[in-house]
Amino acid sequence: MHATLPLLDQTDFPAIARRGLETLQVNLGYKCNQACLHCHVNASPDRKEMMTRETVDVVLGFLAAARVPRLDLTGGAPELNPHFRDLVCAARGLGVHVIDRCNLTILGEPGQEDLAQFLAAEQVEVVASLPCYLEDNVDRQRGKGVFEASIAALRRLNALGYGRAGSGLELTLVYNPQGPALPPAQDGLEADYRRHLGSRYGVEFSRLYVLTNMPIQRFGSTLISKGQFQHYMALLKNAYRPENLDGVMCRTHLSVDWRGYVYDCDFNQMLDLPLAWQGRPRAHLRDLAGRPLAGNPIVVRDHCYGCTAGQGSSCGGALAA
């Protein structure tokens, strides 16, 4: 796989700083039951990295001490971590809102037959990747049969109340482009998703997030192989909107890798660009307990233009929505 950081290192992206911490985003490991072309984590069934119980306890201690209101669990497939359910239950016991970034097909994997019921019982918000409402497009990006399995999973979640008005169970779908292009307007695409998934499959959901593909890891390497990397970077830079700077997620999120080391965002984690903290080469979550992060400079490179292009992009969808 081609390295992308050397192509991103020299940057003219504006200097920005952190605000108060609102969300702790924790990567529980890079193992996944899928290997998607757009994956910025380079996750796959062959990955071995997995957060230990000791590090899970560090996460819980930090949540309690810092009183972080949201825990955002990601991977890989975070549900494959053997401590996933214990972490969810303990965080909910602290009154923390928990988000599970779910690939949907995990709900049908052996040993996960009761996963949907568990998520509903703990009132976990499900943010589910479904990069298109058309079967051919999804299977081309994520593998044959993935769309069919995803629809089955969505119906299972709907049957438990997810995505239905008044249930209190939030189900967000996530779209990302098929190739080196900016996503369409979030509101308009959400209407298309609702119309197509509702009429054809009877599927309901709470909202749609559109995300810009980041020029890193597997997607970035594919761009390099096809000679499209510089063109895509020019697209992101030409679509830069300074008003998006105020809402970028790195201002209020903190990313934690499977070892417990911390980064300004998930993308910096994948590029191995640690949080800048007191001159240390790398800071661990246990080092930050009781330490305010507001005002800390954010580590930026050229990939940051992916979050500020057009309508903007974040783990919470378009910034301009």
pLDDT 10s digits, 171-214: 999 998 888 999 999 999 999 999 999 999 999 999 999 999 99
pLDDT score, position 34: 60
Mean pLDDT of the chain: 93
Percent of the chain past pLDDT 70, that is, above it, reads 96
Instruction: Note the pLDDT of residue 218.
Output: 83
Check whether 87 has a pLDDT greater than 60: yes
pLDDT at residue 144 greater than cutoff 90: no
C-alpha 8 chain-centroid distance: 21
CB 240 within 8 A of CB 308: yes
Is the peptide bond prior to 76 cis by the omega test (within 30 degrees of 0)? Answer: yes
pLDDT surpassing 70 at residue 267: yes
- 35 pLDDT tier (thresholds 50, 70, 90): low
Place of tokens 């239950």: 89
- Decide if 156 contacts 109 (C-beta within 8 A): no
Give the pLDDT mean for 255-273: 96
Residue 76: per-residue pLDDT: 81
Q: What's the pLDDT at 98?
A: 98
Q: Which two tokens stand for residue 44?
A: 């796959």
pTM of the predicted structure, to 2 decimals? 0.94
Return the amino acid letter for 302.
D
